[in-house]
Structure 1
Amino acid sequence: MRFLLFTAFYFTFLGLQAQSKQATKATALVQEAMLLETGMDMASALKLYRKAVKVDPTLSLAWYQLGVALRKNAEPTSEQVTCFKNVVVLDSNSKNGMNSIGNLSAIYNDNGIFDTSLYYYKRYINHEKLHPKRKEQALASMPNREFAAKSYKHPLKIDPWPLHNWINEENSLQYFPILTGDEKKMLFTRRNKGSQNEDLYISLFLGDWQEPDKLPGTINSHESEGTATISADGTTIVCSYCGDLRENFGNCDLYYSTLKGNKWSKLKNLGADINSEAYESQPSLSADGRTLYFVSDREGGIGGLDIYVSHKIDENHWDTPVNLGSLINTEENEGSPFFHPNGVSLFFASKGHVGMGGYDLFLSEMEEGKWTEPRNLGYPINDQNNQLSLFVNATGDKGYFSKEEFSDQSMTSNQSRIWTFDVPPELKLGHRSNYVHGKVFDNITKKPIEASLKLVNIETDQTIGQVSSNLLNGKYLVMLAEGAEYAFYAETPGYLFKSISFNYKEKRDFEPIELDIFLDPIIKGITVQLNNIYFETGKAVLLNKSRTELNKLYQLMVKNPTLNIELGGHTDNVGSDETNLTLSQKRVDAVKTYLVKKGIPSSRMTGVGYGESKPKASNDSAQGRKQNRRVEFTVM
């Protein structure tokens, strides 16, 4: 029995002695490798670390140093995971064990495996070796980790795909896509790998996106023009420019170019109204080009980069930019705002709101003059990398975004491509849009003319959009958002305005509207129908939403002091002839009274009620009767 016990002890001793020799040899290899690391010979150091873990697979220090070196050298993450997991198994309670747990959390997060990352993150936070200050910092990031894990388990049902390789060039980075309202043109920024020079490109959609063209030298230079926006009608570009070739106020300013006929004007600085000595970039125009959102790190902000908004006063001036406030901006950076054509939805990127890491994309909407709490767009639109520059089309069913992509060999993005996706039901916008487009002509010569086109919400008398038709071909495009009734006006000096009505309160059909507009010169005998005059049913009481049209007629008469008109009132055939004749007369009298109270002399207007005697359509249908109930004016 004693012999057996002695034998067992002897062989155990020999095993421990052998292990001790292996540990000593492995430790020496680790020490030598660490010296090589300090001499920046990482390749030789990695060879010795790998040799050390083979000599003694139980030496946690060797596994830890190998894992750290692999991570520094951006080696494949699978080998890093093996190293740190071995440390956790061998020595989880040590400081190296704690750091290995933290590294595992970071690796899984970097690779988008958020639930496993959260598991290790919680172990890291609760580790007894973690310094209280580091624990406090780690706890501050816990909401992001928990949100990422939850979003990862409940992904949105989308399947984004990259655009063609003639859009996404392999040797370039592509980002910040923005489309015109009709989705026929896409503007984006391209930068060749290894270069800091950004240029603007535009691609046409002809059944598919075509080979993009670099914008002309009036816009692009050998310095950086990028992160641009384009108005819905495709006639105004605002971009950032960082360089010394052009007039500037700071290190990056915002510039604009307009399309005159078929040529882009030379880039011009937006001026001191918008630009400062600080950084201004990443602009987004409203559909009509008269509201500008952008990013700046100017003094007085909330965080690093904040989002600001400014409104156009006239052709040469903007009002003072206003910070969007702490509901949108955080103490971190915000960026890449995109103001949707519906006029209420703001998409933007943020590092400060709860997200999945880096820049995430968010949505906030304007309700009763205030922004709503930003909503993270979720996974897989957002992931562990930076997501920037989202665009959603007018009807809200298709999106485009640019996405940074990384490889194991690089800690900086080695690719940025433009992707597109079908918007899932969870992200459908509360307000959709479509557009009306066409050309404006002189009704006599039938030649195209330049005119101002204005869209007004008649319930609030607020101008929603204002554009001009193209001087050469008369083309125009105006966005229409659901949820309101609109008066749409086309006008130009020397002509009578054209009045059109759009009821989008309960709009169901969002197909684009093609509408050519013919304006009449101010000559005797021309009649204009006022399509946005409304009365109480069966009465001559003007509804409040008529004031937009009444004021438009008032302005026409003020600008043309020699203009005299006849106001004509018409009804459908419901009721007796006498009743309709009386009603039509009272209604034109109400219009005349409004204008007289505004200051137009009564002598410049006559009012005639025609009753049902001059129908424009058949009274056999509700639609026909609606057309027959109208007020017109005729030049006398």
Structure 2
Amino acid sequence: TITGINGFAQKINLLPNPVNTETERTIAPYVSYDGKSIVFIRQTKKYRRMFESKKQPDGKWSEPVPVKSVNTFDSLGWFIDAPTYNYNATVIYFSMIEDKKDANFNIYYTEKINEIWSEPVKINLPVNEYTDKTDPFISFDGKQLYFAGRTDDKELDDYECYNIYVSQKTDTGWSEPKALPEPVNSGCDRAPRMAADGKTLYFMSVRGDKKTGIDLYYAKKITKNAWLTPVPVDTLNNNRDEAYPSIPLSGKYLYYQQKSKKKNAKDEKAVKYLLPAELQPEKTVRFYGYVTDLNSGKPVKATINIINPNTSEILSQVKANEKTGKYSLFLQKGKKYRIEVFAKKYSHFFFYFNAGKLKKFEEIQKNITLYPKVNLILNVYDTEIYEPVPATVSVYDKETNKKEDVSLKKLGTGRFNLTLSIGKNYEIRAEHKHFISNKFNLDLTGTVQFNEFERDLELQVKKIDYEINLSDKETGEGVEALVEITNLSTNEKIIRKVKTGKNGKLKIKLRDGTQYEISVKPKGYAFYNTTVDLVDENADYTLTAELKPLKKDTKIELNDINFETNSADLNESSFEELDRLVELLKTNSNMIIELAAHTDDVGSEAYNLKLSYRRAESVKEYLLEKGIPEEQIIAKGYGESKPAFLPANTEENRAKNRRVELKVIEIKSI
């Protein structure tokens, strides 16, 4: 048997004025979890009145303020009693006799809305199926409603006797109440107050030596339906009744009503009592702060779930104040928790806390910001060459297929920043006239934990059926050749070598919207080079090339062979054409050519003749460096003596006459 614990050394203090006064009764006082509010009953000659007082920054209690919405009911002749707060002192639960003829208590609550207490609401059945129920108390997580109820008229030495019951919160109201088992209930028990640890119950009872009157007891729950034998909180004030306990979160102090044992005594006072350590509840931690909008700083009406991280069971739920964003939640010692914060059309936030080794009551301020929008970084790129695509991006509501007006910023070619509101299911589309459109869904109706996402969206280029027709310029017959195709639209070279059929026809798929250089390299023919622009919507998708056969006296003009002014030094822009010439000579190694350099008619004839020869030699030297045998090349300069374009004295024709030509001298037999 567990005996009472002597509290002689513990300090007992009456609460100061204005809570306690010399002339007024302080009935059924209850102090909030945070220790900053107290609610109690005052008795006048005619009515009972509910009052509330707040602790000021200097530690003093404010002048009590009447709870008008409740007191109005009492003015109608009703009888109010035993008020208690919910976890954040925004709801007051109390009992009230509606009809003096009936004289049975029922349970009510009033809620603080915009700092005003609402009209009382009667708790729904089946709690009120009992003939008499009083002393309501809501657990810190809001899931259990404790109260004292009786179904008979049992009395014990002038005390009305009750049992303690608990009802569980359901989706539709409250479950059928169940009496707490023995040894908690002994037949005359009231004012149950479960501490924030969810295990320690304080209540008032008449038991043992009836002469002691009403005393406070402490009981510990060890399993779901098992309790240790209640222990009296022995304050050694045996000449007074002790009732209506309340214990703030720190667990150090017990507040209660003290009253003389004299019959019909009217000297109730509110008392503060320092609990011995062995009678204190298990330690808890309180998280508190504000939930606000990240962008505006305004309060957010958020819901906070306290979850068992191992089972995902929701242990309790609290809500942030809609007007202020303020929240407060309590975690019990000995467990690990996952706390999830969410609100409609806002992001989710979560954190973990391990209360396994909590040594003292803690209060932790944690302000939480939720964001109503997210940023989507979108990269649109070509699925073949992995280059960005300057696409047009649009956003649609997946459910309605309506286009959304969202903030869209271009960060670079094919890179976008989209700002999207949380709470919608989006379809993101990317389009480009040369690509097949693509899309993906981004569902922001569920859990959103990050304010920035990055996604890649691939676009497949449209392909064009391109046809190349090669023929002998003299006979018209098809020519077999290697065709080299280079993509010029990206600064990369993509080369494909394809062999045509003997009929000179080649069909190939090319990328829409791309520029290509097509080089035809047939053996025994002059090379052919051209640029194809498939960016143009009116582009021709067929290339017809008549190839000049290589034979004695065949002339081929070399394009883009450029020299520095009045110099034989080759310009770098000439190298691409000269490299084609190198390939032609290597492919046709049995061919001997003449390199003929020509000038315009500006300057003396003798100077131009020398300059043209030096330029022909410069081209020859380039070819020799590339591995072409010297016996395959003859260099000649003709100065201004052989103009190809007349009249030779116009600026246009002078530019054309400054040229280098290739002439076939001999085709050796192999």
Range class of TM-score, shorter chain: 0.5 to 0.7
Return 164-173 or 459-468, whichever deviates more. 459-468
Q: Which residue of structure 2 lines up, in the alignment, with residue 514 of structure 1?
A: 365
Which residue of structure 2 lines up, in the alignment, with residue 562 of structure 1? Answer: 425
Structure 1 residues 581-627: Cα deviation after superposition (integer angstroms, max 9, x where no partner): xxxxxxxxxxxxxxxxxxxxx9989xxxxxxxxxxxxxxxxxxxxxx
Partners of 1:525 and 1:364 lie apart in 2 by: 56
TM-score by length of 2: 0.52
The answer as to 2:104 corresponding to 1:251 is: yes
1:319 Cα deviation after fit: 1.5
Give the Cα–Cα distance (whole angstroms) in 2 for the partners of residues 456 and 301 of structure 1. 43
Which amino acid in 2 is paired with 1:280? K
Aligned CA RMSD, in angstroms, stands at 3.4
How much does 1:370 deviate?
A: 2.9
Instruction: Decide which of 356, 378, 383 is 1:505's aligned counterpart.
Output: 356
Matched, 1:309 2:169: no
Shift of 1:459: 4.3
The offset of 1:253, in angstroms, is 0.7
Change (3 A) 1:278 1:404: same
Deviation at 1:359, TM superposition (A): 1.9
Query: Does the CA contact (< 8 Å) of 2:40 and 2:52 recur in 1?
Result: yes
Q: Structure 1 residue 396 and structure 2 residue 251: aligned?
A: yes
Q: Does 1:275 align with 2:138?
A: no
Structure 1 counterpart of 2:189: 334
Q: Give the alignment partner of residue 321 of structure 1, picking from 159, 165, 177.
A: 177
User: Residue type matched to 2:321 in 1?
Assistant: N
Matched, 1:238 2:93: yes
Does the Cα contact within 8 Å between 1:359 and 1:386 map onto a contact in 2? Answer: yes
Amino acid at match of 2:370: L
Q: For the residues of structure 2 that align with 1:458 and 1:250, how far apart are their CA atoms?
A: 48
Question: Given residue 325 of structure 2, which amino acid in structure 1 is its aligned partner?
Answer: G
Cα distance change on mapping 1:460 and 1:358 into 2, 3 Å:
farther
Q: How far has the Cα of 1:388 moved from its partner?
A: 0.8
Query: Is the contact between residue 261 and residue 470 of structure 1 (CA under 8 Å) also seen in structure 2?
Result: no
- Distance of 1:375 and 1:460 partners within structure 2: 32
Q: Does 1:229 align with 2:84?
A: yes
Match of 2:279 in 1: 427
Q: Using a 3 Å threshold, how does the CA distance of structure 1 residues 633 and 444 change in structure 2: closer, same or farther?
A: closer
1:465 to 288, 310, 316: 316
Q: In the alignment, residue 318 of structure 1 is paired with which amino acid?
A: W
**TM-score under structure 1 length normalisation:** 0.55
Is 1:199 the counterpart of 2:46? The answer is no
Q: Tell me what 1:295 maps to.
A: 148
CA distance in 2, matches of 1:289, 1:312: 8
Secondary structure in structure 2 of the residue aligned to 1:426:
helix
Query: Paired residue for 2:526?
Result: none
Task: Judging by fraction of residues, say which structure has more helix.
Answer: 1
Cα offset, 1:290, TM superposition: 2.9
Inter-CA distance 442–564: structure 2 relative to 1 (3 Å threshold) = farther
Q: Encode CA deviations 1:214-249: one digit per residue, 9 max, x unaligned.
A: 11235553232220111121111111111249xx99
- Call closer, same or farther: CA 1:423–1:509 in 2, change over 3 Å: closer
The SS at the match of 2:41 is: strand
Q: Secondary structure at the match of 1:327?
A: coil
2:215 counterpart of 1:360: yes
1:368 Cα offset (Å): 2.5
Instruction: Write the distance in 2 (CA, Å) between the matches of 1:200 and 1:360.
Output: 24
Equivalent residues in 2 for 1:450-599 (5 A)? Answer: 450-459=301-310, 461-508=312-359, 510-521=361-372, 523-525=374-376, 562=425
SS of 1:208's partner is coil
Aligned residues: 385
In structure 2, how many angstroms separate the alpha carbons of the residues matched to 1:271 and 1:486?
32
Paired residue secondary structure (1:523): strand
For the 8 Å contact 1:155–1:378, the answer to whether it is kept is yes
Q: State the secondary structure of the residue aligned to 1:275.
A: helix
| 1:547-573 Cα deviation digits (max 9, x unpaired) | xxxxxxxxxxxx9783799xxxxxxxx
Q: Is the 8 A contact 1:250 1:275 kept in 2?
A: no
Report the residue type matching 1:224 in the other structure.
Answer: F
| Match in the other structure for 1:441 | 292
Deviation at 1:435, TM superposition (A): 1.3
What is the CA–CA distance in structure 1 between the aligned matches of 2:316 and 2:175, rounded to whole Å? 17
Instruction: Give, in whole Å, the separation in 2 of the partners of 1:452 and 1:426.
Output: 35
Identical amino acids, percent of aligned pairs? 22
**Matching residue's letter, 1:373:** L
Give the secondary structure class of the aligned counterpart of 1:229.
Answer: strand
Q: Which residue of 2 aligns with 1:415?
A: 267
In structure 2, C-alpha distance between the alignment counterparts of 1:404 and 1:381, rounded to whole Å? 14
Structure 1 residues 562, 342: closer, same or farther in 2, change over 3 A?
same
Could you tell me whether the CA contact under 8 Å between 2:84 and 2:136 is conserved in 1? Answer: yes
Q: Equivalent of 1:171, from 23, 47, 51?
A: 23
| C-alpha contact (below 8 Å) 2:259/2:269 kept by paired residues | yes
Contact 1:301 1:323 in 2 (8 A): no
In structure 1, the partner of 2:38 is 186
Aligned to 1:210: 62
Deviations along 1:415-441, one digit per CA (max 9) or x if unpaired, are: 110110222233233x11231111111
Q: Hey, what's the Cα distance between the residues in 1 that align with 2:129 and 2:320?
A: 32
| Contact 1:168–1:174, Cα closer than 8 Å, also in 2 | yes
Match of 1:113 in 2: none
1 CA distance for matches of 2:237 and 2:228?
Answer: 18
* Aligned residue number for residue 666 of structure 2: none
Encode CA deviations 1:67-86: one digit per residue, 9 max, x unaligned: xxxxxxxxxxxxxxxxxxxx
Query: In the superposition, relative to structure 1, how do residues 445 and 560 fare at CA in structure 2: closer, same or farther (>3 Å)?
Result: closer
Structure with higher strand content: 2
Structure 2 CA distance, aligned partners of 1:432 and 1:509?
6
Q: Which amino acid aligns with 1:284?
A: F
- SS at the partner of 2:259? strand
- Structure 2 equivalent of residue 120 of structure 1: none
Answer whether contact 2:48 2:71 (CA < 8 A) is retained. Answer: no
Which segments of structure 1 move beyond 6 Å, counting only runs of 4 or more?
299-303, 602-605
Contact residue 356 and residue 384 of structure 1 kept, 8 A:
no
Task: Give the 3-state SS of the residue equivalent to 2:190 in structure 1.
Answer: strand
Contact 1:225/1:240 (<8 A) preserved:
yes
Q: Cα distance 1:464–1:171, how it changes in 2: closer, same or farther (>3 A)? A: farther
| Greater Rg over alpha carbons, structure | 2
| Kept in 2: contact 1:490–1:499 (CA 8 A) | yes
SS at match of 2:238: coil
Give 1:455 shift: 1.6
- Is the Cα–Cα contact under 8 Å of residues 236 and 289 in structure 1 kept in the other structure? no
Q: 1:353 Cα deviation (Å)? A: 5.1
* Preserved contact between residue 283 and residue 358 of structure 2 (Cα < 8 Å): no
Query: In 2 relative to 1, CA 287–563 (structure 1 residues): closer, same or farther, beyond 3 Å?
Result: farther
* Paired residues of 2:309 and 2:337 also in contact (CA < 8 A): yes
Q: Helix, strand or coil for the counterpart of 1:173?
A: coil
One-letter code aligned to 2:162: L
Cα distance, 1:156 vs. partner?
Answer: 3.5
Q: 1:355: Cα distance to partner?
A: 7.2
Question: Which ranges of structure 1 fall in alignment gaps of 5 or more residues?
Answer: 1-142, 527-558, 566-601, 606-630
Q: CA deviation at 1:171?
A: 2.8
